[in-house]
């Protein structure tokens, strides 16, 4: 019989960026598509797609070995699952007239970002990116992200806060740069239109 408290302490070490980090990545990706005038709900839904694979954390409450296909960083973190998540949200959350290619692409990239960010996070087993076609676990050689444990107790709380700091640096700052760059590109595309709207001076 597994002790639930001991199991929860073990799961508090789950190797992943926090949900906040994944959500920020989803929002940053959405900014790159704002020139296409996506429906407003896309902001929230892209963040949801970016966070959704971590639902497999609850499966980890069951008594399974770390490398089990259903366990954390297993099939739910695969590229195939990301495509399914994006397709499901795309079909269920948008009206037919809102289902444009740019919307689908935004949601798909947001969902795909989850496994790739986890592969950049230190600690734990790798990410099963190509399940169900391959059980190989993948991890990047360079892993700047830090494990984000549940803040249970003083030690885990400090480690959680430190992981948030690393996410601010490695996810937050690039997200801001992407948002700023996307805004500059949109303004650059609008500039000729604005200049044509101003009548020429007769002098």
pLDDT at 5: 47
pLDDT at 122: 74
The DSSP secondary-structure symbol of 98 reads G
Token reading at 73: 């960083």
Cα–chain-centroid distance for residue 160? 18
Q: What is the mean pLDDT of the chain?
A: 77
pLDDT at 1: 45
pLDDT at 197: 53
pLDDT at 73: 79
Cα four-point dihedral sign 86, 88, 91, 93: negative
Residue 200 makes CB contacts below 8 A (sequence gap 6+) with none
Regions in the chain scoring below 50 on pLDDT: 1-2, 4-15, 194
Q: How far apart are CA 25 and CA 116, in angstroms?
A: 11
pTM score = 0.72
pLDDT one-digit tens code per residue, 107-140? 999 999 998 888 888 766 788 889 888 888 888 8
pLDDT at 193: 53
pLDDT at 32: 86
């Amino acid at each position: 019989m597994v002790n639930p408290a001991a199991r929860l302490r073990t799961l508090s070490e789950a190797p992943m960026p926090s949900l906040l980090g994944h959500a920020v990545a989803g929002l940053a990706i959405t900014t790159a598509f704002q020139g296409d005038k996506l429906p407003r709900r896309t902001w929230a839904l892209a963040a949801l797609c970016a966070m959704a694979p971590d639902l497999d954390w609850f499966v980890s409450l069951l008594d399974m070995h770390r490398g089990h296909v259903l366990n954390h960083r297993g099939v739910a973190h695969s590229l195939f699952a990301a495509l399914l998540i994006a397709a499901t949200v795309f079909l269920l959350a948008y009206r037919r007239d809102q289902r444009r290619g740019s919307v689908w692409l935004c949601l798909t990239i947001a969902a795909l970002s989850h496994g790739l960010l986890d592969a950049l996070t230190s600690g734990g087993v790798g990410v099963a990116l190509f399940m169900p076609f391959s059980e190989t676990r993948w991890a990047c050689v360079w892993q700047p992200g830090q494990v984000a444990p549940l803040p249970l107790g003083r030690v885990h709380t400090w480690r959680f806060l430190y992981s948030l700091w690393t996410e601010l640096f490695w996810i937050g700052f690039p997200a801001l740069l992407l948002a700023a760059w996307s805004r500059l590109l949109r303004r650059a595309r609008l500039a000729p239109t604005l200049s044509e709207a101003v009548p020429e001076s007769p002098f």
